[in-house]
Each structure stands twice: as C-alpha cells, then as structure tokens.
C-alpha cells in the first residue's frame, strides 16, 4: 500500500507538468486579448503598450518558463516568508494578475473563505441529506418515499442552478424579503446576531447547491445499497437472526459506502473550484466568480494559476479516493 501511494504520487508530477503545459498552450492559442474589455476610445497604440507592459511581447516558451518559476519557486518561497517572517523570497516576482496587477495567490486566499463557507457547506449539507435518503430509498424500494426521493433528485439534477437560484431570489428576497439577494463578503461574524446575518445570507446559495449535490450523491447511495441488499451475505446475516438494524446499518451500509466514499472524495475539488453560476447569481464572489471574470478579461496568469490549482486538487483527491478504497475494502490492496 505504501509503495503504491509513493508510486502514484511520483506519477502525479509529470501528469501535472503536462497539464500545466496544455493549459498554457490552450490559453495562449485561444483567441482573445487582455485589452478587449477596454472602451473603444483607447487607441491601438496604447493597447499595444499595455500588452507589452503585461509581458505579452515575449515568446511562448519564455512566458511558460517564467510562469513555472513564479508558481513553483517564487510563490512557495513567498509563503515561507509569510509564515516564518524570515525573508526567503527577496524581490522575486510572484504570479501577477493582469486585471488587478496584484499577486494572484493573495486574491485566491481572499476568496477562499466565502467559497469554503458557501460551496463547502452546501457539499456537507448535500451529503448529510443524501445518505439517509439513499439508504431509505433503497431499503424501501418503490415505496412512496422512494418515489418522492427519486422525483426530488431528478429535479435537483436536471434544473440548472441559474434557474433555482433566481427563483429563490424572486420568492424569498423580492416577495417575502426574508433573505438578502446579495452576499456580503465583508461581513464578519462576531456575535449571535451577526451569525444570524451570516446564516441568512448563506441559506439560499447553500440550499441551491445542496439540492444539486444531494441529488447526485443520493442516487449513488441508493444504487450501491440495492446492489448489496440482494447479496448472499445479507441473507446469511438475517438467517443468523441478526436484527434488521444491524444487518442494514452495519453489514450492508459499510459495504455500500465503498463506492460512495470515492464519489464524495472525487467531488471535493469542485468545492474549491467554486460554483461559477451560483456564485454569480448570489454575488458570493468566490473562486468561481474569480475564474469567470478572469476568463472574460483574458487575465491569463490568473486563469492559468486557478485552473492549475484545480488540476492539482483533482489529481490529489483521485489519489486520496484510491487510497480510501483500499482502507475501506480489505480485499483490495494495490501491490
């Protein structure tokens, strides 16, 4: 198992390098221009100067190597400086966003709290809702509970969040006036009343995303439970006279969780990727919104860095899912 983990981790390095190259090539070859969003009153000579000042005059390989250096050497050194207070980084150039001319990683760190709160919370809530629904739906297959569960997850799965989001805003913000339609990222929780404000502004975006996540996970849970319920070992357990609770929650559930846990683990990077549409609808301005505005503005260093971080997370959590698989299922050991 240990060997396997080491091998997989080492293999991830060339994979990630290849991904970063592909990302850079894609961004570089795609049409678009960082000055495209500027008003037409700005003349072309000025635009050209802006492009040169952004470093676009350099050839492709130089810019790629520069980014590699900035991301893999300068940024970690800077982080070390921040953490220890000892100056490791000197005046090494960090990855700089073209839009704000400030370090990309600083903005990412600034965006993390709201993304983790809203998108992360929705993932947690979605999972908490999904597991019991999946278990009961499978145990009482074709009952009214199963039918309703199926219906709700179909709804959650098929209705896009830009629809449910706006629908919730129209009902709860415009008509009832219960919740704000705009998320305040500067809000700080200090006491009970500010916590309530925070919950109020989180409730709609979280629920919209939780519905979507719950729909997905509950279907996996249900399918996996159904697979196991018909197994011979379940009959044996019942024949031995074990109580139904024990049969279901100890024997069946544990075995059914194996594929579900991997699905949940693989889904975690999407939390960090943010929820582009939902963040936009509720003005949460997390990582998803950061990515989409950077794409619109052709802010290549920002897009490159963000997408690469997502790639790292995806590779990492896939690895984690594989290892979890081995831990949960003793039959499986990658040797």
Partner 1 sequence: MKKLFVITLALIVMATSGFAMRGSSGHVNILYWQAPSILNPYLSGGTKEIEAASLIIEPLARYDESGNMVPWLAESIPTTENGGVSDDLKTITWKIRDGLVWSDGSSFTSADVVFTHEYCTHPEGGCAQGQKFEDVVSVEALDDLTVKVTFSIEKPFPYGPFVGAQSPIIQKAQFEDCLGTAAPGCTDQNFMPIGTGPYVVTEFRPNDVISLEANANYRDSAKPGFATVTFKGGGDATAAGRAVLETGEFDYAWNLQLAPQVLQQMSEAGKGQVISAFGTAVERIMVNMTDPSPERGEERSTRAHPHPFLSDINVRKALSLAIDRNILNEIGYGITGKPTCNVVPAPAIYASTANEGCLVQDMDMANQILDEAGWVKGSDGVREKDGMRLSILYQTSTNAVRQDFQALIKQWWSEIGVETELRNLDASVFFGGDPGSPDTFQKFFADVEMYTNIFDGTDPEPYFNLWKCGREPSPENGWQGGNIPRYCDEGYDANLSELSKTGDLNRRIELSKALNDQLMQEYIMIPLIHRGRVSAHSNSLGGVVLNPWDSELWNIADWYRQ
| Contact window for partner 1 (CB under 8 A) among 254-262, 264-272, 293-301, 310-318 | 293-301
Contacting partner 1 within 109-148 (CB under 8 A) = 110-111
Phi, psi of 272, rounded to the nearest 5 degrees: -70, -30
Q: Which of 281, 300, 306, 321 binds partner 1 (CB under 8 A)?
A: 281
Rounded CA gap, 20 and 325, in Å?
Answer: 28
Q: How many residues bind partner 1 (CB under 8 A)?
A: 54
Enumerate residues 257-276 that contact partner 1 by CB under 8 A. Answer: none
Q: Please report how the helices 104-115 and 300-328 are oriented relative to each other, as an axis angle in degrees rounded to 10.
A: 50
CB of 155 vs partner 1, minimal distance in Å: 23
**φ and ψ at 80, to 5 degrees?**
-60, -40
DSSP string covering 140-193? TTTSHHHHHHHHHHHHHHHS-HHHHHHHHIIIIIIIS--S-SS--TT----SHH
Measured from the CB of residue 105, what is the shortest distance to partner 1 in angstroms? 12
Q: How many CB atoms lie within 10 A of CB 178?
A: 11
Of 174-182, 237-245, 265-273, 320-328, the window that binds partner 1 (rule: CB under 8 A) is 174-182
Single out the segment in contact with partner 1 by CB under 8 A; choices: 30-38, 136-144, 255-263, 317-325.
30-38
- End-to-end CA distance of the chain: give it in Å, rounded: 6
Handedness of CA 272, 276, 279, 284 (dihedral sign): positive
Which is closer to partner 1, CB of 172 or CB of 317? Answer: 172
Contacting range for partner 1; rule: CB under 8 A; set: 120-128, 167-175, 203-211, 230-238: 167-175
Q: Select from 135, 271, 290, 321 the one that contacts partner 1 (CB under 8 A).
A: 290
Question: Residue from 20, 70, 99, 224 that binds partner 1 (CB under 8 A)?
Answer: 99
Q: Which is nearer to partner 1, 35 or 206 (CB)?
A: 35
Segment near partner 1 (CB under 8 A); pick from 9-17, 99-107, 192-200, 258-266: 99-107
Among the residue ranges 32-40, 74-82, 127-135, 252-260, the one whose residues contact partner 1 (CB under 8 A)? 32-40
Q: Which of 5, 81, 185, 318 binds partner 1 (CB under 8 A)?
A: 185
For 269-290, letters b (16+ CB in 10 Å) and e give: bbbbbbbbbbbbbbebbbbbbb
What is the nearest approach in angstroms of partner 1 to the Cβ of residue 185? 6
Tokens of 50: 């802006």
10 Å CB burial of residue 130 (0-12, 13-18, 19+) is buried
**Candidate residues 296, 327, 332, 334; the one interacting with partner 1 per rule CB under 8 A:** 296
CB-nearer residue toward partner 1: 69 or 227: 69
What one-character DSSP code corresponds to residue 36?
T
Among 25, 53, 189, 246, the residue binding partner 1 under the rule CB under 8 A is: 53
Considering only residues 196 to 255 of the shown chain, the ones binding partner 1 according to CB under 8 A are none
Residue 273 tokens read as: 């990727």
Long-range contacts: 228-236, Cβ < 8 Å, 24+? Answer: 228/252, 228/255, 228/256, 229/138, 229/139, 231/255
Q: Which of 285, 304, 305, 307 binds partner 1 (CB under 8 A)?
A: 285
Binding residues (CB under 8 A) for partner 1: these are 31-33, 35-54, 96-97, 99-103, 106-107, 110-111, 169, 173-174, 177, 180-182, 184-186, 280-281, 283, 285, 289-290, 293, 296-298
């Amino acid at each position: 198992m240990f060997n396997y983990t080491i091998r997989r981790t080492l293999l991830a390095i060339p994979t990630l390098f290849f991904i970063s190259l592909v990302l850079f090539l894609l961004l570089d070859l795609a049409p678009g221009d960082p000055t495209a969003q500027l008003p037409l009153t700005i003349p072309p000579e000025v635009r050209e100067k802006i492009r040169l000042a952004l470093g676009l005059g350099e050839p492709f390989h130089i810019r790629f190597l520069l980014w590699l250096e900035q991301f893999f050497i300068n940024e970690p050194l800077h982080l070390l400086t921040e953490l220890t207070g000892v100056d490791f980084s000197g005046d090494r150039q960090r990855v700089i966003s073209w839009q704000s001319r400030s370090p990309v990683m600083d903005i990412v760190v600034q965006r993390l709290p709201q993304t983790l709160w809203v998108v992360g919370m929705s993932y947690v809530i979605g999972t908490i809702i999904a597991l019991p629904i999946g278990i009961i739906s499978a145990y009482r297959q074709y009952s009214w509970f199963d039918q309703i569960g199926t219906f709700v997850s179909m709804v959650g799965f098929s209705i896009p969040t830009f629809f449910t989001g706006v629908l919730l805003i129209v009902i709860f913000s415009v008509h009832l006036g219960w919740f704000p339609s705009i998320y305040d990222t500067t809000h700080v929780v200090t006491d009970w009343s500010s916590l309530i404000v925070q919950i109020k502004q989180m409730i709609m975006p979280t629920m919209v995303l939780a519905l979507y996540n719950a729909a997905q996970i509950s279907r996996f849970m249900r399918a996996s439970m159904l697979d196991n319920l018909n197994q011979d070992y379940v009959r044996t357990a019942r024949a031995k006279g074990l109580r139904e609770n024990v049969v279901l929650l100890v024997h069946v559930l544990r075995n059914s969780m194996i594929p579900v846990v991997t699905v949940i683990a693989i889904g975690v990077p999407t939390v960090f990727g943010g929820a582009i549409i939902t963040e936009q609808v509720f003005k949460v301005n997390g990582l998803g919104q950061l990515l989409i505005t950077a794409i619109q503005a052709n802010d290549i260093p920002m897009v490159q860095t963000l997408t690469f971080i997502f790639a790292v997370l995806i590779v990492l959590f896939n690895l984690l899912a594989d290892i979890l698989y081995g831990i949960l299922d003793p039959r499986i050991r990658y040797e």
